[in-house]
Structure 1
Amino acid sequence: MAEQLAYPDPRIYMKPLAARLEDDDTRAALRLLSDVLAPRRDRVVAAPAYGLPVRVIASRRGDDVRYLLNPRLIEASDLVINVAETCPQTGPIRRSVLRARNVTMSGTGLRGEQFVLKLEGVQAFEAQMALDLMERPDPFDWLTAYHRHCLRVGESWFGVLNAGLYSARDGDILRFSGLNRVAFHPDGTEGALCSFDGLNPMLPIEKRHRKMLGLISVLTPLRHVYFNQAENLPVVVAALLISRGAKIYGPEAAIPVVLLERLGIAGAFHRHPLDGSGLAAGQAPLDVVLFDKVAAPDAPLPVEADLRQFARRLDGMTGTLLIAMPAQDPALEHLLQRVFPNVLAYPSPKGEVIYAARKTWEGEAQIRARMISGGATSGIDFVDTLSEPWIYLRKDGGRQLL
């Protein structure tokens, strides 16, 4: 039996020709769809989905099989959000999309007669997907760069994360807060702690989180990431998607392991309180330590002892401590400079500042080169994400614009 095409097969984009009963291609399409509908299963199929670019669809309901040439949608009603919709061309990828629960199409029958075909429920959804293939120049323009990469290389783990996000439901720890936006509600409470873009979880929704992700992606190799605030989960999830095989660390009490399990990434999490015990024998140094005072304004700032512990745990070459603040903080800048040889500030137009503290400094040219090359491989435009000025905090108290 013929199989439906799978993205990115170029035949998906062939422009379907008008169907004509006397045309050989149309007859071939009718034979193909007849074979496809031979099994007794209610469904709607289209010839272009099987590599024949002819405007023919067919439906089966019980023993009733109908063929419609040159179909067009003339009526649609009962619009609903079809949650976690999948289509054969994109495999496990789910999305939520607005669909009509009832549709009416008109076209030509097998004897040349004009007739209408009314469909409802799942078959109405399938008919609309079939029309997408025939009517839209790019029926998959909703796919993000990350979707396209995953489909090309066949990364099955993405399906687990995608399914986890689209398992959201009312009253759950994961709930839809928009068409494809998923919010995390700890313990099922009303307040959302953070949100994910279901279509592209590799790119956080909040600009501050995108900037944090861009910084750690170009400053570090993203192998070992420590965080102790669940509000930063969008950054951590995105980092895991960018850097396959990365490990994340944090205190068990502060990290919602149940959410990590739901998203299929709990295996990357290692419980670690980052206390005063220092770097254990054989334990890999950390590449990133995240702290976000903007997301958690009531969280106490690290004291000097904490910063020195961070410095001991960070990799000597690329390790970076990232602290997001709601505004410039001279006291914190002084404290960071007491512990770290290199401190940079990344202010935003809103007044927020992200501080990056490192033991070594590679130089602006090397980091900007990684910014461009990293964006090319991951699908994130780091140049846009890090478009605000970089400020190097000198030991003499001066501020050097990079």
Structure 2
Amino acid sequence: MRVSIHKHIANPEQFKQQLLVWSQQFREVVFLDSNSYPQEYSSFDCLLAVDAFTSLKTDFENAFDDLKQYQTTTKDWLFGYLSYDLKNTVENLNSSNFDGLDFPDLFFFQPKKIYLLKENQLEIKYLFLCDDEVESDFEEIVQSQSDAYETLGKLNIQQRISKESYVEKITKMLNHIHIGDMYEANFCMEFFAENALINPLEKFQKLNEISQAPFSVFFKNNKQFLLSASPERYLKKVGETVISQPIKGTSKRFSDPVEDEISRQYLENDPKERAENIMITDLVRNDLSHTAQKGSVEVVELCKIYSFLQVHQMISTITSKIDPQYSPSDVLKTTFPMGSMTGAPKISVMKIIENLEETKRGLYSGAVGYFTPDGDFDFNVVIRSILYNQENQYVSFSVGSAITSLSIPEKEYEECLLKAKAMHEVLR
């Protein structure tokens, strides 16, 4: 049971930063920020959950069953993540690539303290066992200030796959497409630094400032961190309605308005980018149909262009009505991993990219989000993100692009570098 208290916040942007600074004292933190990006399906401008009362940490074996039991038993707010390698429990797959980060495959926690901000209205939800701390915590938050950050040393950021090797691998993927093994695949490569000493809060604030993405996340589980500027929603459930918003298609932003509009229109009309998006939209329609009421899957938007600070993106919106026989975790299991990060047909693609990629994806191209007590949920896609294991002193970010029969390997490589730009800038 939780106590619920409402407050009026005069300066929401300032309060968000104070919340984030205050949260750093806790072992478990999930901070979700929409950055006031205009979107139809937003429930909150900002959420903060801290301090685990209970938690679930597991590898991929039976992970979705464990999550289902945890969610139905607690019937409370849960925050956490699904890593890409849960694919190995959904299908008969495996992962043997290098993993420098060593995060659990799945982690969720039931927070003692939650803050939900929408415009000027703040709702505070504390478990009864700590409800006497609400007012003292609130006073502490409004007095929080960022400390002066120390420079912790220069990072030597390396690229796991060279340009030559990348072109070679994409050529192999094109061969798979030409002989009919797949139609489209998302191929990813890692950038990393060893002996890395960074201030995660500082890096997240910089990344968030230059990206201002609608699904930004600061995640902390003891010494494991995710700093995400994701523009993409994986899946949201509100009542019986399920919403998926895959991204496929990217073009560069320009400071000159004329150039910028040309870039936007080029993306909107590019046959390759539209083909990518439509293929993934079709895959998502199929995934949602597994748990949907008959005839309820609908494409609400197809290939719509959304503009962010760094890039223009092509996004489609697909909805369905969940069949009452299925649980919230069933919807996640039957759609995971998201089609925008795999390709089509899904199982064949996942096997091929596992062989050609050189790093285990882990939390990258997984999802972070939350469940509400009544079984609603909202999860992002973990892209445009920095991952950091403070204990191993290993920092990593990965980028990818969709490979189709029309792909030119050198152009795909350039798209990856464009997507890596913000993370490079922050870590430098």
**TM-score bracket for the superposition, by shorter chain length:** under 0.3
Task: Name the one with the larger strand percent.
Answer: 2
Q: Given the two structures, how large is their TM-score scaled by the length of structure 1?
A: 0.26
**Larger relative contact order (Cα-Cα within 8 Å, sequence gap ≥ 6):** 2
